Structure 1
Amino acid sequence: MLLLESRIRGVRLLRSAFALPFAFSVASASVVFSVFYNPASGVLNGLLSQFHLGPVGWLTDSRYALLSVAASTVWMNLGYNVLVLSAGIGSIPAEITEAARLDGAAGLRLARSVTVPLLGPSLFFLVVVSTVNALQSFGQIHILTRGGPDGSTRTLVYSVYQKAFAYGSSDFGTASAQAVVLLLVVLACTAVQFGVLERKVHYA
C-alpha cells in the first residue's frame, strides 16, 4: 500500500491494477476465475504443466476447493480495500510524516511507527467489513462450486439457499434457523472485534 503512494515511475498503472477488482461484479469475476481454475484448459494448470506438474482439481477436489474460492474472494475484495487504505494514507497530515522523517524515521520504521498506527481506523473498518462480507459470501460459491465437492464449500449462507430455494426445496424452517445462527455468528464476530481490536485503534 505504501508503494502505491510513492512517487515512483508507473505508480498510476500500479494503482489501477490493484483497484481493478473493484470494477468487477461478483458474477463476472467468478466467471473469470472459473476459466482460471478449469482443470482441462485453465490458466493455473497450464502454468503447472510448464513445470512438468500434473493438473490440480482446483474446484473439483475437496482439498483445494475452499482455498480456491477463498482466493477468488480475496481478489474480489482487494480493489475496495486498496481504495479505502489509499484514502486513509492520503488523510495522514504531511507535517506528521515530515516530523517523523526529521527525527530519523524512514522506510519500515516510518511505516511501523507512524503510518500503520494512523491507519488504525481504516484497518479496523476493513477488518469488520471484510469479516461480514466473508460470512455472507454467496455469488462466487454458487457460480464456481455450488457448495461442492462433497459439501466442502457449503457455507452457512449457501446452506440457507439450498434448504429454502434450491432444487425445489422449501424447508423454510431449517433455513430460517440457519439464518438466525448466521446473524448470531456475525454479531458475535463483530462484538469481539469491537471489544478487542478497537482498543488498539488510534483516532486522530
Structure 2
Amino acid sequence: MRAGTEAAFRSKGGSNWKLGRWAERLEPYLYIAPSLILLSIFVFYPIIRSVYLSLYLTDPLGNPKVFIGLRHYATQLTGGFFQSLLVTLKFVLYTVPVGLVLGFILALLAYQPVKGSRFFQLVFSSPLAVSAATGATIFLMMLNPVSGIVNYLLGLIGIEPVRWLTDPKWALWAVGMVSIWLRLGFNFVLMLSGLQNVPEELYEAALVDGAGPWARTIHVTLPMISPTIFFALVVGVIHAFQVFTEIDMMTAGGPSGATNVVVFQIYQEAFRKYEFGSASAQAILLFIVMVILTYFQFRLGERRVHYQ
C-alpha cells in the first residue's frame, strides 16, 4: 500500500513538473501575443492577400475571378513598372541626400552653445508637426505659376517664372522640395540626438592636437554619429519609396508621367482602374525591390559605420 502511494506521488509530481516546463516555454509567447496578433492583421495578412490577388483577374470589388498565374508579373516587368520605378529612384536621389545634409547642418548650428539655441531647435524641428497634406497644400500655393510667392521673388531678381508643377523638367524637383521640408524636422532631431551623444573628451583631445572646426567635424563628429546617419539613410530611402500624398495632391502623377512614382501608380491601378490583381503584383514587386535595396544598404553601409 505504501509503495503504491509513493508511486502515485511521484507520478503526480512528474506531471506537475512537465506542466511547469510547458508554462515556462509558453510564457514568452504570451507576452508577444498582442504584437503578433496586430502584425498578423495589419502586415502578414495583407501581404499574403496581395500575393494571392496578384495571381488572379479580379472584379471591380476586388474578388478573384480567373487564375492567370504569373501573367501580371510578366506584364509589369515588360510594361510601365520599370518606368515608374525609375521615377521613384530619381525622387529618392533628389530628396534623401539633400535632406540628410540639411538636417546635419541645422543640427550642427543648433548644437552650438549660444543663447537662443533652444528656440532654433524648436524652429528646425517644427516640420515634424506638419502633415504631408498640409505641407503639400502650402507648397501648392507657393509654387503657383501665376500667384505663387516663389515666382514673385524670382521675378524681383529678373528670373522668368517657372512652371514648377506643369513642366516635366521641374515637377519632380518641386515635389521633392516638399518632401525634403516635411522630413527635415525628423532628420534634424535624429542628427541633434546623435551630436548630443558624442563625448566632449573627443573634441577636447582634437583641440589639443590643433584640429580646427572642419577637421573636428570630419574626423570626430561624422564617425561618432555615423550610426545615426546610417539609420536616417535607411529610413529616408524607405519613406521616399512610399511617397504618395505630395504626388497625389500636387501633380497627380503628371505632367506626362514625370512624377508617376510606383506607389501612386499602384493607387491608380487599384482605385481608378479597379485592377486589383495588377496593383497587387506591382506592390509585391516594389516590396522585393525595397528588400533588396535595404539588404545592400546594410551590407555596404555598416562597413563605414563606427559603433562605440
TM-score calculated relative to the size of structure 2? 0.64
Of 165, 170, 181, the match for 2:271 = 165
Q: Which moved more, 1:56-65 or 1:2-11?
A: 2-11
Of 30, 34, 37, the match for 2:143 = 37
* 2:290 is aligned with 1:182: no
Residue of structure 2 in register with 1:14 after alignment? 120
Residue of structure 1 in register with 2:87 after alignment? none
Residue of structure 1 in register with 2:67 after alignment? none
Q: 1:130-169 alignment to 2 at 5 Å?
A: 130-166=236-272, 169=273
Larger Rg computed on CA atoms: 2
Q: Which moved more, 1:14-23 or 1:182-191?
A: 14-23
Unaligned runs of 5+ in 2: 1-106
Residue of structure 2 in register with 1:103 after alignment? 209
Of 288, 296, 306, the match for 1:192 = 296
Residue of structure 1 in register with 2:72 after alignment? none
Q: Which moved more, 1:157-166 or 1:89-98?
A: 89-98
Amino acid at match of 1:32: I
CA distance in 2, matches of 1:151, 1:103: 55
What CA deviation, in whole Å up to 9, does each residue of 1:32-83 have, x standing for no partner? 1101111110011111111233221100111100111111111110000000
Per-residue deviation, 1:133: 0.3
Per-residue deviation, 1:174: 1.1
CA distance in 1, matches of 2:276, 2:258: 23
State the SS of the aligned residue for 1:62: coil
What CA deviation, in whole Å up to 9, does each residue of 1:133-175 have, x standing for no partner? 0000001111111111111101000000000003xx2111110
Amino acid at match of 1:20: S
* 2:130 is aligned with 1:24: yes
Unaligned runs of 5+ in 1: none
Identity rate, percent? 39
State the SS of the aligned residue for 1:79: helix
Aligned length: 202
Residue of structure 2 in register with 1:47 after alignment? 153
CA distance in 2, matches of 1:51, 1:13: 31
Per-residue deviation, 1:92: 1.1
Per-residue deviation, 1:106: 2.7
* 2:223 is aligned with 1:117: yes
TM-score calculated relative to the size of structure 1? 0.95
RMSD of aligned C-alpha atoms? Answer: 1.2
CA distance in 2, matches of 1:171, 1:43: 40
State the SS of the aligned residue for 1:197: helix
